[in-house]
Structure 1
Amino acid sequence: MSSTITTTQQDSSKPTFTDPYQERKHLLEHTAAAFRFFERHGYNEGVSGHISVRDPVDPSTFWINPLGKHFAMMKASDMVQVDEDGNVIGGNKHVVNAAGFKIHSVIHKARPDVNAACHAHSIYGKAYSCFGKPLQMLSQDSCLFYNAHGVYKDFGGVVLEQKESNQIAQALGNGKAVILQNHGNLTTGSTVDEAAILFFIMERTSQAQLLADSCTNNTKRPISDKAAKFTFDALADSDSLYSEFQPEYDYEVYRNDDFLFKDNFPFGPDSQN
C-alpha cells in the first residue's frame, strides 16, 4: 500500500485585531521577544541596533527601543513611542538612538506597507557589507531575498544627516531588506516577526556567502532565476515569515516571560499614550 505526501502552503498563524490597543499590546510583546532573540544570537553591541514598529493606534508614530537598554533585558514596557518629528510622546519616554530614529522614520514614511524594521551590527552582516554587493542566490534561504533587497553603497558615517537616511530608504526601494555598505543589514516586514526572522536569515545567508566565497579552488553554482523566483514566491510571503518566527517567540516565553505585560496594559485607551 502506497501513500502520497502532498505539500500545501503553510497556514498563517498571524492574528487579526478589531481593537488597535490589543494589537499594540501584541506587537510590543513580540518586539521585546525579537530583542531577546537578537541577543541570543549575539546581535547586541553596546548602544547600537534598533527595532521599530508602527503604532496601530496612531500609524503616523512608531515605537523603538530606548538608548542603552541591553537587548537581553528588553521588556515590552521599555519601548518608546515617537512621532515623525522625533518627539517622544509615549511609552517609556526615554531618550532613543538618534541615528536609529533617522533611519526608521524615513522608512516608515516612505513605505506604508512596512510596519517594522530591524537593524543591528551583526558580525557576518558587517563583514559581507564591506563588498557593497547584493547576495548571490546560493542557497534556499538566500532566495528569500531574490530581487527583494538593495545595497546602499555610500557610507557617510553615523546616520545623523537626513540625506543619508533618505538614501538608505531609496536603496531599500520596495524590497524587504538592504545591505548598508561598511555598516550591516536592515530588514523590514509587515510585522516585527517577519522583519526579525528575515534579519536572522539574512545574517546566516551573509555567513554562508562569505564561506562560499572563501573556497577559491571551487566553482560556485548559483541557483537559476526560475528556481530562485519559485522559492521566493513559496517562502517569502508575510504570513509564512510570521509563522517562521513563532517557535522563536514561544522559546523566548519559555526561557523567561518577564518581557510580557503582567496584569494590566499601561499603554491602553485609558493611558495618555
Structure 2
Amino acid sequence: MAERRNPEQERAHRRRQLVLTLRAFALAGFDEGAGGHVTARDPIDPDTFWINPFGRHFAHVRDDDLLRVDHTGDVVDGSGRINPAGYAIHSAIHKARPDVVAAAHTHSIHGRAFSALGRPLAPITQDACAFFEDHEVHDEYGGVVLDGAEGDRIAATLGTGKAVVLRNHGLLTVGGSVAEAAWWFLAMDRCCQVQLLAQAAGDLVVIPADAARAARADIGTAQIARLNFRPVAEHVLAVSPDLTHGTTPRQE
C-alpha cells in the first residue's frame, strides 16, 4: 500500500525519487552531454514541475540541484538553467495529462536506434507485453523540440499511453509516480535492445494479441512498475555515498 504523506512530505519524496532516477539512468548509460530530462509534478503547486538542471551530469545531480519550473518556463524554485527542449516537451505533457506525475526522456542508445525504425515495439517477449497497445509512435521529426507547438503534438501522440517512441529521436515514458515513469523508461529501452537483437538474428515470433494483453494486465501496471523500481533505487543508494542513506525507498 502506498505510504500516506502530507504535501510537504510528498514534495520531498518526489524530489528524492527524481534524484534516484537520474542516478539510475547514469548507471544505465543514458546520459549523453547535456541531453535528457526527467520531471515530477509538484504536489503543492501542480501547475509547476521539478526538473534536472541543464548541463549537469545525471550521476552528480543532488536534491539541491533540482529546479521547479512553471508553465511559462520560469524557474520559481532553485538556481540554474533548464533544458529548453525539456521544457517544451514536459510542460505540454504535464498540461495535457493531469494524471501524469512524472515524465522521462533521454538519448539512450537502444532507444535512439529503435526510434529510427519508426515502428512500435512488438510483443516478442513477456517484458515487451507491458507496452502492448499502451504506447505510440510520434511519426515525424522536425528538429530539436524548442517550441510549444511541437511539444503539444508529442503530447497528443502520447495520448493516454505510458510511452511514446519519438521517431529519429528516442523514447519518452510517463507515470503516475516518478518510480513508474523511471521503470517504464528502463524497461522500454531494454525491450528496444532485445527487439533490435532479435530482428538482426532472424524473423520475429510475435506473441498473439490476446496473450499479450493478458500479460500486460499482469506486468504492465503501475504497481508492478513501482515494485520493479525499488531494487533499482536500493542499488543507487548502495553505490552513491554522497546521498544520505536512509531506509530502503518504499513503494509510492
Report the TM-score, using the length of structure 2 for normalisation: 0.95
Q: Does 1:106 align with 2:115?
A: no
Q: Deviations over 1:173-192 (max 9, x none)?
A: 10000000000000000111
In structure 2, the partner of 1:80 is 67
Equivalent residue for 2:234, pick from 250, 256, 260: 250
Q: Does 1:16 align with 2:19?
A: no
Q: Does 1:259 align with 2:246?
A: no
For the Cα contact (< 8 Å) 2:115–2:170, is it kept in 1? yes
In structure 2, the partner of 1:132 is 118
CA offset at residue 259 of structure 1?
3.4
For the Cα contact (< 8 Å) 1:65–1:96, is it kept in 2? yes
Q: Distance in 2 between matches of 1:157 and 1:260?
A: 40
For the Cα contact (< 8 Å) 1:76–1:259, is it kept in 2? no
**What letter is aligned with 1:15?**
E
Q: Distance in 1 between matches of 2:43 and 2:160?
A: 21
Moved more, 251-260 or 111-120: 251-260
Equivalent residue for 1:163, pick from 129, 132, 149: 149
For the Cα contact (< 8 Å) 2:237–2:245, is it kept in 1? no
Q: List aligned pairs for 1:1-273, cutoff 5 A.
A: 12=1, 14-17=2-5, 19-90=6-77, 92-216=78-202, 219-260=203-244
Q: Distance in 1 between matches of 2:241 and 2:74?
A: 30
CA offset at residue 258 of structure 1?
2.5
For the Cα contact (< 8 Å) 1:122–1:184, is it kept in 2? yes
Give the aligned length. 246
> Rg: which structure is higher?
1
State the Cα RMSD in Å: 1.3
Structure 1 residue runs of 5 or longer lacking an equivalent are: 1-11, 263-273
Q: Distance in 1 between matches of 2:245 and 2:41?
A: 19
For the Cα contact (< 8 Å) 1:144–1:231, is it kept in 2? yes
For the Cα contact (< 8 Å) 1:77–1:261, is it kept in 2? no
Structure 1 residues 102, 260: closer, same or farther in 2, change over 3 A? farther
Report the TM-score, using the length of structure 1 for normalisation: 0.87
Q: Identity of counterpart residues, as a percentage?
A: 42
SS in 1 for 2:154: helix
CA offset at residue 261 of structure 1?
9.3
Structure 2 residue runs of 5 or longer lacking an equivalent are: 247-252
SS in 2 for 1:105: helix
SS in 2 for 1:151: strand
SS in 2 for 1:178: strand
CA offset at residue 257 of structure 1?
4.6
Q: Distance in 2 between matches of 1:70 and 1:82?
A: 19
Q: Deviations over 1:182-214 (max 9, x none)?
A: 000000001111111110110010001111111
Q: Deviations over 1:42-86 (max 9, x none)?
A: 000000000000000111110001101100101122110011111
Structure 1 residues 261, 160: closer, same or farther in 2, change over 3 A? farther
Q: Distance in 2 between matches of 1:231 and 1:29?
A: 31
After TM superposition, where is structure 1 displaced by more than 3 Å over at least 4 residues in a row? 259-262
For the Cα contact (< 8 Å) 1:76–1:260, is it kept in 2? no
SS in 1 for 2:242: helix
